[in-house]
Amino acid sequence: MNTILWVILWGAVFTYAARVGGHLVLSRFDKIHPRVEAGLNAVPAAVLTTLVAPAATQAGPVEMIALVVAGLASLRFGMMTMFLIGAAVLIGLRQVVG
């Protein structure tokens, strides 16, 4: 089997195991401490930051415009809509500007 397929397969297995393991550990507690819950609620924002930060530091004008538009869209819409608006602006500007 191709090496890339093995990497994808094992990545999926370990990701699933991490999610199930986290669920199993947290399900053993009757009540979760508010600080732990706040930390877990901050994880999606932290992951999003790790994805956006490198693109923002090495971005050209097209990417910066898309990031600003997505940031403004996040003030009004939900996360999925913000992603779709940002991606649409990025794709559209890349087609126009080149």
Domain count across the chain: 1
Total residue count of the chain as it appears in this document: 98
Report residue 43 as tokens: 């994880």
Residue 88 domain flag? yes
Residue 8 domain flag? no
The pLDDT profile of the chain, 98 residues, written as one tens digit per residue, is: 789 999 999 999 999 999 899 889 888 888 888 998 898 888 888 887 888 788 778 888 998 999 899 999 999 998 899 989 999 999 999 999 87
CA distance 44 to 69: 20
Residue 5 domain flag? no
Residue 2 domain flag? no
Chain centre to alpha carbon of residue 43: 10
Residue 3 domain flag? no
Residue 56 domain flag? yes
Main-chain dihedrals φ then ψ at residue 17, nearest 5 degrees: -65, -40
Residue 62 domain flag? yes
Residue 52 domain flag? yes
Q: Which domain holds residue 68?
A: 44-98
Q: Is the model's pTM score more than 0.75?
A: no
